[in-house]
Amino acid sequence: MRLLLLISTYLIVGGSNSAAYCLPELPDETFFNAVVEVRGHTISGIMVIKKDEQIKNTCRILFTTVAGPKLMDMYITKDDYNILYVTKKLKKRTILGLFQKDFALVSGLYLAVQDKHCENGSCSVKLPKKKSAHYSFDAQNRISRAEYRGRGKVLLDVVYTYNQDNIESIFLQHYNFKMKITLNAINSTCQN
C-alpha cells in the first residue's frame, strides 16, 4: 500500500519550544483520485505525487484522466515549478503557479526549510513577498491542517483526514481564487 508518508508521519526532535518537524523517507509514488474545480469547471482524474530521487526537496506531480491521457506533468520545489506537459485548458500562468504553491504546501516542502518556528504542535515558515505557510499537527504528529497566508489573510486552507495510520483524503480550498481540489487516496490491495 503506497500512501503519502510525507504528510502522514512526522517526528518531533528537540525541546518544547524548539521542536523541529522532520520529513521521513518518502515512498516512491502516491496515488489519489483527484477532483479539481476551477472557476466553475470540473476536471477529475488520477493524481500521482512522486518524490524525485535525484533532486532533494523536489516532487513530481502527474495529473491524468482516468482513461490515461495526461493533463499535467510538472516538477515542483518550494519556490518554483518546471512544466513537462500541460493541456491547453490548464496552461494558464495563474493556475500553474497555484498548483506549485498548493502542492509545495501539501507535500510539506516548506517544512524542509531550516528557518521555521515550531511550538505547541504547529510550525510557521516565512516565505518571500510577505507570504507564510502554517502547519498544525495532531497527537500522532501528522499534519492535520495547513494554511498559506499572504498579508495576514488565509489564501489557501488544506485539511487532512486519516483512517487509522494512513491518509484518507486531502481537501484544498482557495479563498482569493475560485479553485478547490479534493484528493482521495487510492489504496492498493496488492501485496509486494
The answer to whether residue 78 scores a pLDDT higher than 70 is: yes
| Distance from the Cα of residue 100 to its chain's centroid | 9
CA distance 97 to 19: 31
Q: Are 4 and 185 in contact (CB under 8 A)?
A: yes
When mean pLDDT is compared across 6-20, 65-79, 88-102, 168-182, the lowest value belongs to: 6-20
Confidence of residue 6 (pLDDT cuts 50, 70, 90): very low
When mean pLDDT is compared across 107-111, 112-116, 124-128, 139-143, the lowest value belongs to: 112-116
Task: Choose among 139, 144, 143, 138: nearest CA to 109.
Answer: 143
Indicate the helix (H) or strand (E) that contains 101: helix 93-106
Task: Give the cell for residue 166.
Answer: 494512513
Q: Are 31 and 50 in contact (CB under 8 A)?
A: no
Confidence of residue 17 (pLDDT cuts 50, 70, 90): very low
Length of the chain: 192
Domain-wise residue ranges, the chain: 5-185
Q: Which architecture characterizes domain 5-185 according to CATH?
A: Clam (2.50)
Task: Compare 190 and 78 and report the one with higher pLDDT.
Answer: 78
Task: Quick: pLDDT tens for 25-54.
Answer: 335 578 899 999 988 889 899 999 887 777
How far is the first Cα of the chain from the last one, in angstroms, to the nearest whole number? 8
